[in-house]
Amino acid sequence: MQAEQLKEAVVDALENVKARDISIIDVRDRTSVTDYMVLASGTSNRHVRSLADSVVNEVKGKGLKTASVEGADASDWVLIDLGDVVVHVMMPATREFYDLERLWRDAPAIGAAGSE
């Protein structure tokens, strides 16, 4: 699966479970670790976990195994490393505190629809 297709599958999975404030950051020119970072917020710890589960199930359904899932026990911040796409699902307060969008502010923000 190409990075673009993987990114779209992740966004679809998040939207299907009503994620809030989905952001896609294109980091291809900034790091060799991943191509895209997708950030989304949940309304509760249970919702954050549900969003992460939705992403994992979506990509598994498309034949891709997740490389790593971190933070599922605490559920304030769940990180899903899919290789070409890294997904951060957080509670709003956690997202505001760490402010990953600011750290990558020079990278192009694509938005949930995938258009620049």
Q: What is the pLDDT of residues 2-61, one digit of tens each?
A: 888 999 999 999 999 999 999 999 988 888 889 999 999 999 999 999 999 999 999 999
**DSSP letter (8 states) at residue 32:** S
Please give the model's pTM, rounded to 2 decimal places: 0.86
Q: Which domain holds residue 81?
A: 3-103
Establish if 39 belongs to a structural domain: yes
CB of 90 within 8 A of CB of 50? Answer: no
Structural domain contains residue 74: yes
Q: What CATH number is associated with residue 51?
A: 3.30.460.10
Number of domains in the chain: 1
Question: Residue 44: how many CA atoms within 13 Å on its side-chain side?
Answer: 3
Q: Is residue 113 part of a domain?
A: no
